[in-house]
Amino acid sequence: MMKVVDIHSHFFPKTWPSLQQKFGGDDWPWLRHQKSNGSGLEKAMLMKGNKEFRPIYSACWDGKVRIEEMDQHGVDQQIISATPILFAYEKPVEQSLYCAQLFNDAALEICQVNPQRLFAMAQVPLQDPDVACVEASRAKSTGHVGIQIGNHVGLKNMDDEGVLTFLQHCASEDIPVFVHPWDMMAAERTKDYMMGWTVGMPAETQLSIVSMILGGGFDRVSKELKICFAHGGGAFAFLLGRLENAWLHRDIARGKSAHPPSYYLDRFYLDTAVFDHDALQLLVSKMGTDRLMFGTDYPFPLGEQQMGQLIKTAPQLTELNKQKLLASNAEQFFVLPK
């Protein structure tokens, strides 16, 4: 039996204090729970102000339900992280810090159901790098195994000096970083058919990797930084050739990077939430088997529904490499108990 570690899953607390009452405004997230009929799983509607945002169910907040579903799919350990709607980067920093501490502590509480199988990544108020660094250090001291950040802060990409300051702090303190897309581009053009998630999110992820490369981020941040990007890096692997060609033949396409894009492939990791064997094989061919980690996006409908099966049934992967992707790489990256 292969060990399976899912590094990409999300949570919500069952309840939390009203952020609207505390801070004012009409766009704060909250849960509108549905009345239970005594059968099946509890359900709720995630609200943003008075607008419905997403239906969710009790696996988001109930660690026992989460463990039961992990057992059904043969998932041994799972890392939970906040859903990006909770980041509050657009709010004043003191409000964002309150949210970070609130949801970080809630994540650890969920993990207490089975602290050998459930682990948490924290969030930080990334709009203020100094405050973000302090909260990252606090989170590590309280038991978080890493930090999840959004891939941009307003119009600031990953190569922003403030973001790089935070990443260097994480490198210095050996805090792994997981980059998740959020606040997707072209919102008006992708508002239909869930294109914000199916098109916008992968595009955001690719943009974040490219900005780190061409913006000189990887040249300026210590090689000790452990950083992973969600959703297989979006289209990055597929378009690497285009990026490389532009770098070689157009000086303005080189940005601030000291080397061609392919030089930096050993500086970051990607998760495997790509849902397709050909896409997974492309990631392996570009990134190698030491730089990929299994992630599901559980417990949402756009996540991998048969958790672990994409890797387990990959025709071109050896058993050893399957185990690397399913668990070994994550154990090393996040320093998880074996």
Residue 10 CB coordination number (10 Å): 22
In angstroms, the CA 219 to CA 255 distance is: 12
Bigger pLDDT: 303 vs 39: 303
Strand pairing report for 43-48 and 51-57: antiparallel
Residue 222 near residue 270, CB atoms below 8 Å: no
Domains of the chain: 5-11+63-334 (3.20.20.140)
291-320 burial string, b = 16+ CB within 10 Å, else e? Answer: bbbbbbbbbbeebbeebbebbbebeebeee
Q: What does pLDDT average to over the chain?
A: 96
What pTM was estimated for this model as a whole? 0.96
The two structure tokens encoding residue 184: 């997707």
Nearest to 67 by CA among 2, 144, 9: 9
DSSP string, 12-44: --S----HHHHH--S--EEEEEPPP-SSS--EE
- The answer on pLDDT for 177 being more than 70 is yes
Query: In the chain, what percentage of residues exceed pLDDT 70?
Result: 99
Q: Tell me the pLDDT tens digit for each residue of 106-150.
A: 999 999 999 999 999 999 999 999 999 999 999 999 999 999 999
The mean per-residue pLDDT over the stretch 33-62 comes to 88
The two structure tokens encoding residue 11: 């949570």
The mean per-residue pLDDT over the stretch 250-255 comes to 96
Phi, psi of 116 (to 5 degrees): -90, -10
The length of the chain, given as a count of residues: 338
The sign of the dihedral angle between the CA atoms of 195, 56, 96, 330 is negative
Distances from the Cα of 102 to the Cα of 15, 18, 80, 99, 112, angstroms:
11, 12, 15, 5, 16
Please name the residues in contact with 39: beta carbons below 8 A apart, sequence gap of 6 or more.
none
Residue 280 near residue 313, CB atoms below 8 Å: no
pLDDT at 18: 96
The mean per-residue pLDDT over the stretch 181-205 comes to 92
Lowest mean pLDDT among 29-38, 48-57, 182-191, 274-283: 29-38
pLDDT at 320: 97
pLDDT at 301: 87
Amino acid at 195: M
pLDDT band at 39 (very low <50, low <70, confident <90, very high): low
- The answer on pLDDT for 56 being more than 70 is yes
Nearest to 112 by CA among 175, 66, 72: 66
pLDDT band at 163 (very low <50, low <70, confident <90, very high): very high
The mean per-residue pLDDT over the stretch 294-311 comes to 93
Residue 159 near residue 212, CB atoms below 8 Å: yes
What is residue 298's DSSP assignment? B
3-state secondary structure of 276: coil
Whether the bond into 299 is cis, omega within 30 of 0: yes
The mean per-residue pLDDT over the stretch 281-302 comes to 96
pLDDT at 238: 97
- The answer on pLDDT for 37 being more than 90 is no
- The answer on pLDDT for 222 being more than 80 is yes
- The answer on pLDDT for 38 being more than 80 is no
pLDDT at 303: 86
Q: Is 218 left (phi over 0), alpha (psi -120 to 50) or beta?
A: alpha
Residue 268 near residue 289, CB atoms below 8 Å: no
pLDDT at 60: 96
- The answer on pLDDT for 275 being more than 70 is yes
Q: What is the largest CA-CA distance in the chain?
A: 65
- The answer on pLDDT for 252 being more than 80 is yes
